[in-house]
Structure 1
Amino acid sequence: MNKLTISLSPHIHSSGSIDRCMWNVVIAMMPALAVAIWTFGLPALWVTLVSVTACLLTEWLITRYMLHRPSTLTNGSALITGILLAFNLPSILPLWMVVIGAIIAIGIGKMSFGGLGCNIWNPALVGRVFLLLSFPAAMTTWPSGVESGFDATTGASQQADASSGATLLTHLNAGDTSLADYNLLDMATGNINGSLGEVGGIAILIGLAYLLLTKTITWHIPTAVIASAALFSWAFGGNPLLDIFAGGLLLGAVFMATDYVTSPMTHKGQLIFGAMIGLITIIIRRYGAYPEGMSFAILLMNSFVPLINRYCRPTIFGEKERRAQA
């Protein structure tokens, strides 16, 4: 016999839903996707389409034939994972590697935990890190003929960077951090090299504005990540602007660290979460073996989310009065 469980009032009614939040995120990513296609051309489109298709197909197969549940593709979460995975890949990555990354992202990063709402780590980053550790050469080979964001008249030569496929983080790790050595406008508008989602800082910030206006996310995590990264970049002798716009810091701060499932529930916890991501990212960039630390920083802090939620719980309603009476 089924029992109907009714919670006590008050009841909060809202037009928000999982589907609406997910599709808002998809809409917010469109400017960044457009800049990536404009910068890298059709290869960027193919990487994105293959990543999205593989993610959708993997989730559908697992849901139907292993979990025996109704399809969950309409909520948009698998689509988001596919786009985010593509944003973390070079446009010239072999498509069969893209498929492997998508299968790992959905199959291991998401569905092995039970599906949406149950995963511990961000699925797209699970796929990205798996590919980075398995195929490091392919994951750090960038398309030639794309500018690096450096001014050809000062510092490193744009022409040399375009022929070798260098990225801004290449120069960052070499100690080329002078503001005069790179073109901030190129960094902001997508005229730089890197993964699909690492280009076009302005496009990512437009997506952030949309997410904030639609109240899909709050300002706490993106602000904490960016502010922390800027602070510790300056403290470690780096250039805050270069660290913010180079690599995937903006992408991670806006679209991946803010994932509902793998981020803290309270605003205080979100500020701690974001600040630690910024710190860890800068430490890895300065002293780690990999030029980019954003993915590892987010995954590491994902692991601490249960602990953060435990120690940043809000006061229970009526708890203050009970303590006062005691």
Structure 2
Amino acid sequence: MSPVPNKTLRWGIAGSGRICNDFVVAMMTLPKDEHEVVAVASRHEFKAQEFASRLSIRKFYGSYEALAKDPEVDVVYIGAINTEHKKLCLMMLQHDKHVLCEKPLTLRLAESKELFDYARKKGKFLMEAIWTRCFPAYKQLREEILKQSIGPVQLLTANFGFHAPNVPNLAERDLGGGILLNVGCYVVQLANLVFQDRKPATVKAVATFNESGVDHTTAITLQYDDGAIAQFLVSMLTDLESTARIVGKEGLVIEIGAPFLAPTQLKTPSEEFHYKLPFVDEKFPLNFINSSGLAFEADEVRRCILAGKTESPLMSEADSLLSAEIIDAICKEIRLNYD
């Protein structure tokens, strides 16, 4: 892949919802000569126009194809509903755009493989937007795991829950809803990092379902060949303490402070780390906790694209495919499908 010649990475935004708002607001904290949002698109032009006006974006479109055809756009952030991800990724790649796509990249492992194959063929950057991996705390966590500061990991626990049972993109099957697909990625990616991309030997899970047929609470247990266990609970019915604990063979512990998916604290047996989030002006409200940290992800995308890379080492193709494979296995366990 040839790197983008311009120092300024020019972004297009596919979607006008809450996460797209937070992504653009987070990018306002970055140098203007490094990142510029030049256009936004939505299925409804009036939504794109309102979004563009509120966040001072020069261009807006009432179709995603118009965004794909915009010659000023280098990279597209896709924050539309889950069921649109595959189609929009293909559309942007076909028009020679780099792509950062919100999780889940697709609804099925086979579709994710197809997208990465196509991006590689086109020589374009593609990354699943697991923003967690770009936080400074996770870079430190990776170092701790590599140097075995707590010895071989024996146990990983993490929960993540909130009360939002009726939010459509979570609750409705036709929109790719369900707590596993929308939140399970965060606990699964944590297991993959902690256990250094080893595939679990066994995957067990149980779940409860809403009337639409998607899971609203799911309990997951992964076990590895050496006997180590990862155990998670995710729910859209109730608030849960969103910390994570990583336990070594001698009982030494690494703790990731709440929320573990967007942390500002990491505690090891020898040190406590505290990290600052990018500062956002209060006149630009954010929707999600610590989401000014989306700036870390945008910067990682720019770094990779300017270096001519087609994937990020922080959340690579292999990372996304392993997560998708484990989530597919959990879906089979709880008898959840999106066909």
What is the TM-score of this pair, normalised by structure 2? 0.28
Q: Which has the higher contact order (CA 8 A, sep 6+)?
A: 2
The structure with the greater share of residues assigned to helix is 1
Q: Which has the higher strand share?
A: 2
Q: Which protein shows a greater Rg?
A: 1
